Structure 1
Amino acid sequence: MRATHVLHLGVKELWSLGRDPIMLLLIIFVFSVSVYTGATVLPESLHTAPIAIVDEDRSPLSRRIIAAFVPPYFQAPKLIAQSRMDGRMDAGLDTFALVIPSGLQRDVLAGRSPAVQLNVDATRVSQALTGSGYVQAITVAEVQTFVQHDQPSPLPPVELVVRMRFNPALTKTWFGAVNKVIDNVTLLSIVLTGAALIRERERGTIEHLLVMPVTPFEIMASKVWSMGLVVLGAGMLSLVFVVQVALAVPLAGSLSLFAAGTALYLFAATSLGIFLGTFARSMAQFGLLLMMVLLPLQMLSGGVTPRESMPELVRTVMLAAPNTHFVMLAQGILFRGAGFAVVWPQFLALALIAMVFFGVAHARFRSAITAMA
């Protein structure tokens, strides 16, 4: 292999990418607008949920309960009649419908345990799951305060002091922004390298390369380093200007260490893009292959769902996927401020996987090039 060949071919790839306005627009969009919107529209566990209340008691206690449901968790409660409750739930107007029965205050003061009915629209899963607990906690707290005549409740025998590390305010934007950058690094690294190979085939320039004194290894290596450089640069700019500046997300760790881990990961991801590109004859076929590969990689890597909640078989198989280790590395560095002494196992795993991926992709690429010749 000649380094000059790899360098010049890589520069050719960069010039080719620079003359493709659609790809340039995709890169800018994915690492700017996509990251920003993906982080800001991430729904909170409970935010301005619509709630209706049927007040059949009309007592000071029921009015106290109604007044307790306030933003930002709930919208201002809609006071409705019992006959309208089912119709509003069927129409999707209310996520929660609380029925305060007649005689609630009397039964509470008499020491009885009256039942308060809560109807939940379970099609809104994220709000229904956590919102039911919020409604129960608010109702019970107001009843207890009313019974004790606004006197503070006795101290519990044990006090639990909660310390939120790495995200004290539990701001989902922090998690969403970094996770979008991680996902988009995977997406663009595969798309750009695969598209570069397909572009050569569609434009007929692959035949020109075959008659030049270059080897398949040099051709593949040039596409890997050039497209990897583009994704690395765009990803780091996105972290600085979109995540840190626009979204004001504090990054705890070293950006240079993260860049080194990203470069190692891109070695594997771009090789995967070349591998998929050898099977596709057009961008449409490549897009179908990409969906079959990208979605499982992102969903099962641990970036969306913790790996501990997955079946043992899935966790074991996904250890062979490079983005599993990249997610652990990125979250460890950017969220928890981990140094190399902590994330070196992920660096080692990425290096081994990258060499295997590159070797397999090179063998497939060389076979495809030979068949074309």
Structure 2
Amino acid sequence: MGKIYNRLEGEKKARKAMFQRIWSLIQKEFIQVGREKATLIMLLIAPFLQLVIIASSIHMDITHIPLIVADQSNDARSRAYLDAMVSSGSFDIAAHAASEDEIIRMIDAGQATIGLVIPPDFAARVERGTAQVLLVMDGSNAFSAQSAASAAAAIAQQYAIGTTQRQIAPPLTAHITILYNPALKDLWFMIPGLIANTLQAQTLGLTAMAVVRERERGTIEALLVTPIRPIELMLAKTIPNLAIVACNIITVLVLSTTLFGVPFAGNLGLFIVLCCIYAVCGLGLGLVISTVAQSQTQAMQFTVLITFVAMFLSGFLFPSYALPPLLKALGYVFPLTYFIPISRGIFLKGVGIPELWGPVLALLGLLAAILFASAKLFRQSLD
């Protein structure tokens, strides 16, 4: 009996010691996680961000599509039809135009994705059952164009049914003209945005590790004792990566047009210049991450988080106007938000600076802010 008792007591003490060791290790891990506050915050907010951003940005039925109206009839019938368009929740009137040509110019400038032309004799044609409106759509955003076409056709049919119950033929039909991507091919819509998203991921990844890698290896101290100035070191970290990105820009352009058959309609030189400006934005943002992060793992976590959030808030997959106001405002801090319309505009529409001056100026302003922040943080990280 004594041996059994001693054995049981020994096993009890061993289990107690095991639990004490496990508890000590758990406490150690909690302390370690608590020291890395940035990682802890990221781990806590990542599920929240994923749920809110994905649930808010993914809409199969897009509403509040910006609409440009050229009401050449301007009578009770045309106003009733416009009221039906707006009250459906599918469209918001963004601007008014005088003609189809003006609508196309405004679509080129990115003011809206769809235009509506109501002919001068609209009311009389409705009475005769021969009325037809013209819908001009931006096919460079295939997802929005498909949603807009379906919604506009349904509204026209409902308006026709409500106008008269006697006529066999519908008194109103909608003729749809799709610009830049008449067949609404998904690849034509995706490739220009995919180029922008790929460049963002690459530029962030190239410089996000720059400073933190030197710090972890212990080579940052050796650099500090040399006569190299912070701005010189910053340029040395950035310029080789920019050369790599420039080569990749040419590669993705060739693949897009040859392998995937997406037509390039714009000015190649302008596109490459704006790609390089956008790439410098990404490299600068990566440098900001590198100076803030405490480890390479943390830098990679920041990079993945920024890439994920920007992808959903920039209009890459779904139009930004469908986002809640707060998330839409958050999207404006990412260079990708401004380069998406630039890429699609030059690639598919063939437009230039006169139409793209808004996103180009915004991208340049963001570039100045990023370079200022990265230079200041880089200098502080070396002090």
| Corresponding residue SS for 1:248 | coil
Whole-angstrom CA distance in 1 between matches of 2:353 and 2:359: 10
SS at 2:342 equivalent: helix
The CA distance in 1 between the partners of 2:172 and 2:294, in whole Å, is 66
Match of 1:252 among 244, 252, 265: 265
Counterparts of 1:193-232 in structure 2 under 5 Å? 193-232=207-246
Q: Structure 1 residues 194-203 or 351-360, which shifts more?
A: 194-203
Are 2:347 and 1:347 equivalent residues in the alignment?
no
AA at the equivalent of 2:339: F
Per-residue CA deviations over 1:203-225 (Å, capped at 9, x if unaligned) read 44333322221111111122223
Distance in 2 (alpha carbons) for counterparts of 1:345 and 1:260:
16
Distance 2:218 2:170 in 1: 77
Number of residue pairs matched?
Answer: 221
Which deviations, in whole Å up to 9, do the C-alpha atoms of 1:48-90 show, x marking residues without a partner? xxxxxxxxxxxxxxxxxxxxxxxxxxxxxxxxxxxxxxxxxxx
Alignment of 1:166-315 (within 5 A): 166-240=180-254, 242-315=255-328
2:89 counterpart residue number: none
Which residue in the other structure is 1:319 paired with? 332
In the aligned structure 1, how far is the partner of 2:243 from the partner of 2:270? 16
| SS of residue in 1 equivalent to 2:318 | coil
Please state which structure has a larger fraction of its residues in strand: 2
User: 1:279 and 1:317 mapped to 2: Cα distance?
Assistant: 20
Deviations 1:150-170 (A, max 9, x none): xxxx75444432222111111
How far apart are the structure 2 equivalents of 1:325 and 1:286?
24
Query: Which AA in structure 2 matches 1:329?
Result: I
User: 1:281: how far off?
Assistant: 3.5
**Deviation of 1:231 (Å):** 1.4
Give the Cα separation in 2 of the matches to 1:231 and 1:277.
18
> Which secondary structure state, in structure 2, belongs to the residue aligned with residue 164 of structure 1?
strand
Unaligned runs of 5+ in 2: 1-59, 61-142, 155-167
The CA deviation string for residues 314-358 of structure 1, in whole angstroms up to 9 with x for no partner, is 223322322211112111111211111111222221111111111
Alignment of 1:1-373 (within 5 A): 156-240=170-254, 242-370=255-383
Amino acid corresponding to residue 226 of structure 1 in structure 2: P
3-state SS, counterpart of residue 253 of structure 1? coil
- Taking the aligned partners of 2:305 and 2:172, their CA distance within structure 1 comes to 51
Structure 2: how far apart are the matches of 1:361 and 1:348? 20
**Secondary structure of 1:160's aligned partner:** strand
* Alpha-carbon separation, structure 1, partners of 2:206 and 2:316: 22
**Alpha-carbon separation, structure 2, partners of 1:163 and 1:157:** 20
Greater alpha carbon shift after TM alignment, 344-353 vs 244-253: 344-353
1:214 is matched by which residue type in structure 2?
I
Q: Report what 2:20 is aligned to.
A: none
Q: CA deviation at 1:248?
A: 0.7
The amino acid of 2:340's aligned partner reads V
Q: CA deviation at 1:188?
A: 0.5
Alpha-carbon distance between aligned partners in 2 of 1:352 and 1:226, rounded to the nearest angstrom: 24
Give distance in 2, aligned partners of 1:364 and 1:164. Answer: 47
* TM-score of the aligned structures, taking structure 2 as reference length: 0.54
Aligned partner of residue 346 in structure 1, secondary structure: helix
The 8 Å contact of residues 281 and 370 in structure 2, kept in 1 or not, is answered as yes
Q: Match for 2:372: what amino acid?
A: G
Q: Which stretch shows the higher mean deviation, 221-230 or 350-359?
A: 221-230
Partners of 2:333 and 2:249 lie apart in 1 by 24
- How far did 1:282 drift? 3.1
Which amino acid letter does the alignment assign opposite residue 219 of structure 1?
L
Q: Separation in 1 of the partners of 2:365 and 2:178?
A: 35
Contact 2:249 2:275 in 1 (8 A): no
Output one character per residue of 1:214-248: Cα deviation in whole Å (capped at 9) or x when no partner: 111111122223212311320222111x1100011
SS of alignment partner, residue 162 of structure 1: strand
Other structure's SS at 2:263 match? coil
Q: Give the 3-state SS of the residue equivalent to 2:175 in structure 1.
A: coil
In 2, Cα distance between the equivalents of 1:199 and 1:229? 21
Deviates more, 1:229-238 or 1:266-275: 229-238
Task: Name the aligned partner's letter for residue 313 of structure 1.
Answer: L
TM-score (norm 1): 0.55
